């Protein structure tokens, strides 16, 4: 299933969401032109074995790694999902809080993945964990929205309106099961998709989204 668009416009200009997309694209462009890509990755990617919680400098990649990507398909798919779902979540929590939500959840997703591969020397890169949190928040706020989705029907591509609740829960379940499988059968030294970060980011976004919204003022009726 590949989302094309959601059924409801946010009605607000998603300035932070667009800024995040631009920032990711710029960093990816810099990756392509940097003269020493190995040094760039070693400096800004999250390499679990290098983490030392007593040394703040080694913790910086929990943030910087979210803006690195492993290839064109990786960044294009991530930015597309952020474009589809991010504007509504930004409208729900507000511009500034959306930025803090994105960073907080992205770091949390990477930390969850780190817990299972703390001895790995392979670099972790990508915004997938933060974007998974945006999907979790979207499910929290807009479960009744529908998503126009590209799916195969009798072998041919078709666009079908699917409830956001069904699509996002299905996506989370596939990521969670894939994450469990990688923990059970894969070595920490084996690269691939960070499914645990995806599932952890989604759960973090779903749980914490409500804490990033502005408090509702209670209306009192005098008798």
Is residue 67 predicted with pLDDT exceeding 60? yes
In a domain, 218, yes or no: no
Phi, psi of 29 (to 5 degrees): -60, -40
Q: How confident is the model at residue 22 (pLDDT cuts 50, 70, 90)?
A: very high
The predicted structure's pLDDT at residue 223: 33
CB 122 within 8 A of CB 189: yes
User: How many structural domains compose the chain?
Assistant: 1
Q: What does pTM read for this prediction?
A: 0.89
- Which region among 97-101, 114-118, 135-139, 175-179 has the lowest average model confidence (pLDDT)? 175-179
97, part of any domain: yes
Domain at 111, CATH number:
1.20.1540.10
Could you tell me if residue 26 is inside a domain? yes
C-beta of residue 152 within 8 angstroms of C-beta of residue 222: no
* pLDDT tens per residue across span 175-206: 887 776 666 565 444 456 778 889 999 999 99
Per-residue pLDDT of 26-64, as tens digits, reads: 999 999 999 999 999 999 999 999 999 999 999 999 999
Question: Within a domain: residue 119?
Answer: yes
CA distance 187 to 120: 9
Enclosing H/E stretch for 175: helix 164-185
Band (pLDDT 50/70/90 cuts) for residue 156 is confident
Q: Average pLDDT over the chain, rounded to whole?
A: 87
Query: Which residues span the domain enclosing 123?
Result: 2-212
**pLDDT value for 190:** 47
38 occurs within a structural domain: yes
For residue 34, what are its two tokens? 């940097």
């Amino acid at each position: 299933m590949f989302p094309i668009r959601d059924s409801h416009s946010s009605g607000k200009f998603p300035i932070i969401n667009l800024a995040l997309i631009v920032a990711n694209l710029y960093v990816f462009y810099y990756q392509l032109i940097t003269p020493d890509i190995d040094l760039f990755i070693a400096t800004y990617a999250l390499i679990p074995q290098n983490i030392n919680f007593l040394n703040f400098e080694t913790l910086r990649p929990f943030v910087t790694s979210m803006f690195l990507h492993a290839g064109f398909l990786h960044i294009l798919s991530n930015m597309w999902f952020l474009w589809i779902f991010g504007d509504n979540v930004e409208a729900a929590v507000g511009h500034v809080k959306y930025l803090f939500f994105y960073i907080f959840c992205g770091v949390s997703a990477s930390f969850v993945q780190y817990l299972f591969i703390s001895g790995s020397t392979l670099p972790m890169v990508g915004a997938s964990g933060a974007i998974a949190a945006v999907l979790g928040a979207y499910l929290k706020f807009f479960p009744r929205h529908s998503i126009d989705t590209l799916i195969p029907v009798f072998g041919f591509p078709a666009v079908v309106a699917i409830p956001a609740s069904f699509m996002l829960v299905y996506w989370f379940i596939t990521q969670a099961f894939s994450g469990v499988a990688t923990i059970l059968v894969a070595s920490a030294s084996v690269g691939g998709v960070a499914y645990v970060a995806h599932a952890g980011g989604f759960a973090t976004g779903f749980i914490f989204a409500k804490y990033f919204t502005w408090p509702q003022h209670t209306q009192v009726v005098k008798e």
